Amino acid sequence: MDQNINLEIKLPKVPEIELVAIEGLEKMGKYLGIPEDKIGEARIVVTEAVINALEHTGDSNPYVKVEFEMTKERLIILVTDSGKGFNPDEIEEPDIKKKIDSTNKRGWGIKLMKSMSDDLIIESKPTGTKISIIKNLS
């Protein structure tokens, strides 16, 4: 079976809406027979990407677009927001020793997404950010 499944979702900025994207991902993976461990990793990556995008999307367009393209071999995830953008080169690598003693435990999202994907590309400009994630499934 040489199938390519695509799913596009426009998520509003409401609590726990990332679960809609996760459910779509799981249904696609189950349909294609993707191993549960690979879908589990993809779940984490999608959750981080969507939550970050929802947090930073603009108030004038409080939505995040999530796109999946899945085959038995590969998953491509695109998450796009309409926030003010940022410079990806200025993101500091989290320091675990400092985080343990800090009240701010945040800042692990991009590091986590990078560690659980095969490629992560961040394109950001003043009108929004697009994160492209590639995850090999076989």
Would you state the pLDDT for residue 99?
55
Domain boundaries, the chain: 5-136
Q: Could you report the per-residue pLDDT of 77-112, keeping only the tens digit for each?
A: 999 999 998 887 777 776 666 656 666 555 567 888
Angstrom CA distances, 21 to 51, 94, 101, 103, stand at: 11, 27, 34, 30
Which residue in the block uniquely carries the two structure tokens 């461990």? Answer: 37
Q: Is the pTM of this model over 0.95?
A: no
Structure tokens at 91: 């993101």
Cα angle: 117, vertex 24, 2; to 5 degrees: 70
Strands 74-81 and 128-136, sheet pairing? antiparallel
Q: Could you report the per-residue pLDDT of 45-81, keeping only the tens digit for each?
A: 999 999 999 999 988 899 999 999 999 999 999 999 9
Q: What is the mean pLDDT of residues 5-21?
A: 97
Say if CB 29 and CB 38 are below 8 A apart. Answer: yes
One CATH from 3.30.930.10, 3.30.565.10, 3.40.1280.10, 3.10.105.10 for 5-136: 3.30.565.10
- The better pLDDT of the pair 22, 3 is held by 22
